[in-house]
Amino acid sequence: MVMCLFKKGKKYVYMFGEAGTSPIRGSKDLGKDILGGKGKNLAEMVKLGLPIPMGFTITTETCDIYYKNNKVYPQQVIDEIEKELSRLEKIMGKKLGDAEDPLLVSVRSGAADSMPGMMDTVLNLGLNDQAVEGLIKKTNNPRFVRDSYRRFLQMFGNVVMEVPHHDFEEALQKIKNAKNVKLDTELGVEDLKEVVKSYKAVIQKATGKMFPNDGREQLKMAIDAVFNSWNNDRAIVYRKLNDIRGLLGTAVNIQSMVFGNMGDTSGTGVCFTRNPSTGENKFYGEFLMNAQGEDVVAGIRTPLEIAELDKVMPDCYKELVKIYQNLEKHYKDMQDMEFTIQEGKLYILQTRNGKRTAAAAVKMAVDMVAEGLIDEKTGVLRVKPEQLDALLHKQINPTAKKTAELITKGLPASPGAAVGQIVFTAQAAHDQHEEWKKVVLVRTETSPEDIVGMVASQGILTARGGMTSHAAVVARGMGKCCVAGASEIAVDEHTKTLTIKWKTYKEGDIITLDGSTGEVFAGLLETMDPELSGDFATLMTRADKYRTLGIRTNADTQHDSEVARKFGAEGIWLCRTEHMFFAEDRIKAVREMILSEDVNGRKKALDKLLPFQKSDFIGIFTAMEGLPVTIRFLDPPLHEFLPQEEKDIVELARDMNVDLDALKKKIADLHEFNPMLGHRGCRLVITYPEIAEMQTKAIILAAIELKKQNKVVLPEIMIPLVWFKSELDFNLDIVHKVAKETMDAEGVQVEYKVGTMIEVPRGAITADKIAQTAEFFSFGTNDLTQMSLGFSRDDAGKFIKEYVVKNIFEKDPFQTLDQDGVGQLIKLAIGKGRKTRPNIKLGICGEHGGDPASIEFCHKEGLNYVSCSPFRVPIARLAAAHAALKNS
């Protein structure tokens, strides 16, 4: 069993730090897939001739076999470990557990992808009762050694032998009480001896086993513990969250310990080759003399800036500078390094590509190209598209955040920051906005009726709904900050209060939302505007050079169109017309239409809407002059335009001068059990052709008016929710007839295209037929996902988390396109559509149009466009460039 998993002649343990032991298999350097990131970097630094404490790496393949083989590895691995360990001892001239000059090692995890803090680490391994004596001899520092031993016992006991932390704390506290001291540091050498004894007892009591005195036994147990930590809950969740997949497991790095706390010529530090916050090309970091790594982090002593090292240990500093320059040149990226100076000798413990802020990422990507360190393509790939999001919205000043009162947390539904007085209704938002007040709209959930209030607000906070709830989707579309599904809050619209646990906030109280984190703060926090620097523009221009996908936007207003164009949108691919119907000056006519008993009444009401629609389109066409604008006909079910609350209904009946009971009956008649699957989209036109007539007329009239002004207008009319070709044709007949009549009447001809949304699974399945009359398809991946998965995004919030937690699916399919399911339908439709009409224009307009993974799918499947909300256009541009570069 074991043997068949092993390849004969394969090697599982590789030494680093000794010349001639570079990990090579065949004629190829082993990569981080086999050595892990840390192991690979150590090996590489050795090759670069850097001062690395010697050690060896057990490969990720070993971890894989360990799991496949029921957590047992065969003799070959044990033999190899022993062989390398002996060699290490020999070269170092020290022995594990030696009473004269003991070898101490660290045992660290290290997967191919960095998973900081997720897996286990053991330091100072090799200490035992004998080795302690040896180390005291070498260091002449009994307190440090005894303290190290007690720390090692605790770390080993906890990490390797799984004794609860708490047991050690308790034992320690007992001794501190007995000695009548408060701080650990007040314990003397003899006290520490007592602690060690007590810790050993703790271990034995909790596990029934003795603490292993033998260093080799310790090492074996620690290696097992690291392998086991690959699959602890924390690590699994981290990999899921960070989308780390397809790895063999973790490698284990055993490295001889060096000590920064052996006196004034010792020290330790962390440094970055450039500033990770700003991107500035200047050595950055901090250090402490006579200290261990954990002291830097613990914050008891204040570390010094790295430049200070030049004064303290000028030789070490100069060496460090040379090393960092080399490393950056070698890795061609900003490095995050750890170093230790032991008695005047510098050791590099680790290097890796450094994490950085979005602003820093952009600056470095541009600077490094200018410096000739990387080429343009690499520069473009260096910035993650998602990162840009942080640069495109208002943000809360991080300093202000530190002292603010966090009152609750919801979902980070739409990024940015919002500060304002609480209001509880769309009407109040609108009214107070008119009085120049800044407001935050707080609702249990939003509905299309709230649009006017959302527009008037700085941000939106809802108690219910997920990342793709109405509030979230509309807010993202507006580029407006939104925190959704803050389930701790209770909203009472009548008393105008918002209760969080025991605290109540009322209308007019000021709150601050952070839409990028979901945080809600009491009071006013300082915010900062986004600054799209020159580097940002440079990066975008380069992205455009490499991408092949067209990027359009979803925009319903002239303002949004202008914003999107500024962000680089190459036209509109989805202009929803329903939002236009909610404005105060239109909703009345819309309701009149709905409540009409016959076609003449509806036409009369629609005639009132016509000038509004026309002026909407004139605005949008003007903003997008010369670029194509795809306008989708009315989509939602009509009941969305009628009030649902008793009091609003009464008011409407009075306003419209209609019988209250008749109105209620109409509203009841329009009620749908499953509005998502109801009378909406082009189905409305089958029943009420006059709606399509009006919308066509408005589009054509607007186009004619601009053409008369010699402006270039490229309207495209899109029919939503098509599932039968006959249904599309019914709509198109109306479009062509009315367009012709309108152009004939005006004596001006304008060109327009017609196409359809593919958002119902049947539409995708029969795309070959639909393409006979549709000049373009837009994949409405929101609805297509909902219908293909049978999964309403309005309701999903309640149980989708369980699906992610329980690993039912890898990612929320409303955030990233479900390529195995929905993606297959899209592929089918692309194939069928192109078969009928080879030059058919294809794009997507769902929320996925702004998601980098989904954009890569669109690129690979050869779509012409992706479309997203204005504020995601730069992200989409960069993601499209990545997709092109990765798949070229």
User: Closest separation between CB of residue 665 and a copy of itself, Å?
Assistant: 9
CB of 824 vs a copy of itself, minimal distance in Å: 5
- Among 201, 149, 146, smallest CA distance to 171 is for 201
- The candidate with the shortest Cα–Cα distance to 345, out of 215, 256, 252, is 256
Among 807, 838, 839, 888, binds a copy of itself (CB under 8 A): 807
Site size for a copy of itself (CB under 8 A): 49
Q: Is there binding between residue 244 and a copy of itself (CB under 8 A)? A: no
Q: What does the alpha-carbon distance between residue 509 and residue 557 come to, in Å, rounded to a whole number? A: 31
How far is 770 from 829, CA to CA, in rounded Å?
10
CB 106 within 8 A of CB 122: yes
- The strand ranges marked E within 496-542 are 497-500, 503-506, 510-514, 519-522, 527-528
Q: CA–CA separation, 561 vs 630, rounded Å?
A: 12
Nearer to a copy of itself, 619 or 678 (CB): 678
Minimum CB–partner distance for residue 724 and a copy of itself (Å):
6
Spatial separation of the C-alpha atoms in residues 132 and 141, rounded to whole Å: 11
Contact call for residue 10 and a copy of itself (CB under 8 A): no
* Residue 789 touching a copy of itself (CB under 8 A): yes
Q: Applying CB under 8 A, does 619 fall inside the site for a copy of itself?
A: no
Least distance from a copy of itself to the Cβ atom of residue 486, Å: 15
Q: Is 676 in the site for a copy of itself (CB under 8 A)?
A: yes
| Gap between the Cα atoms of 353 and 40, Å rounded | 13
Which residues touch 255 (CB under 8 Å, ≥6 apart)? Answer: 42, 53, 54, 55, 105, 106, 108, 349
Tell me which of 316, 575, 845, 858 is the catalytic residue: 845
Among 672, 709, 772, 887, binds a copy of itself (CB under 8 A): 672
- Burial tier of 89 (Cβ tally within 10 Å: 0-12, 13-18, 19+): middle
The sign of the torsion formed by the CA atoms of 820, 822, 823, 828 equals positive
Q: Which of 803, 811, 812, 860 binds a copy of itself (CB under 8 A)?
A: 803
Q: Does 726 bind a copy of itself (CB under 8 A)?
A: yes
The DSSP bridge partners found for residue 342 are 345
Q: Which stretch binds a copy of itself (CB under 8 A): 305-313, 316-324, 590-598, 793-801?
A: 793-801
Distance CA(454)–CA(437), nearest Å, equals: 14
417-423 and 550-554 as β-strands: parallel, antiparallel, unpaired?
unpaired
User: Among residues 470, 579, 848, 882, which one is catalytic?
Assistant: 470
Residue numbers 739-778 binding a copy of itself by CB under 8 A: 759-762, 765-766, 769
4 is catalytic: no
Judged by CB under 8 A, does residue 809 bind a copy of itself? yes
Contact flag: residue 824 with a copy of itself (CB under 8 A): yes
Q: Based on CB atoms, which residue is closest to a copy of itself, 427 or 792? A: 792
Give the nearest distance from C-beta 671 to a copy of itself in angstroms: 9
Instruction: By CB under 8 A, tell whether 835 contacts a copy of itself.
Output: no
Measured distance CA(742)–CA(717) in Å, rounded:
15
DSSP letters, 543-567, are: HHHH--SEEEEE--SHHHHHHHHHT
Quick one: which H or E segment has residue 861? none
**Does the annotation mark 271 as catalytic?**
no
* Residue 785 beta carbon to a copy of itself: minimum distance, rounded to whole angstroms: 9
How far apart, in whole angstroms, are the C-alpha atoms of residue 331 and residue 336? 11
Closest to a copy of itself by CB, 130 vs 792, is 792
Q: Which stretch binds a copy of itself (CB under 8 A): 431-439, 564-572, 742-750, 787-795?
A: 787-795
Selected from 301, 601, 799, 887, the binder of a copy of itself by CB under 8 A is 799
Question: To which residue do tokens 């769309």 refer?
Answer: 426
By CB under 8 A, residue 678 contacts a copy of itself: yes
Given a contact cutoff of 8 angstroms between Cβ atoms, the answer to whether 160 and 125 are in contact is no
Smallest gap from residue 410 Cβ to a copy of itself (A): 16
Least distance CB 361 / a copy of itself (angstroms): 35
* C-alpha to C-alpha distance for 764 and 99, rounded to whole angstroms: 75
Q: Is 821 in the site for a copy of itself (CB under 8 A)?
A: yes
Instruction: Decide: 876 and 397 in contact? Cβ < 8 Å.
Output: no
If we measure between CA atoms, which residue out of 424, 413, 536 comes closest to residue 477? 413
Site for a copy of itself in 687-716 (CB under 8 A): 687
List the one residue from 153, 316, 719, 822 that touches a copy of itself (CB under 8 A).
Answer: 822
Report the residue number, 238 or 803, with the smaller CB distance to a copy of itself: 803
Query: Is there binding between residue 792 and a copy of itself (CB under 8 A)?
Result: yes
Shortest spacing between CB 462 and a copy of itself, in angstroms: 14
The answer to the question of residue 291 lying near a copy of itself (CB under 8 A) is no
679 binds a copy of itself (CB under 8 A): yes
Any idea which residues carry the catalytic annotation?
A: 470, 845
**Where along the sequence are the contacts to a copy of itself (CB under 8 A)?**
669, 672-679, 683, 686-687, 721, 723-724, 726-727, 730, 759-762, 765-766, 769, 783, 786-792, 794-795, 798-799, 802-803, 806-809, 818, 820-822, 824-825
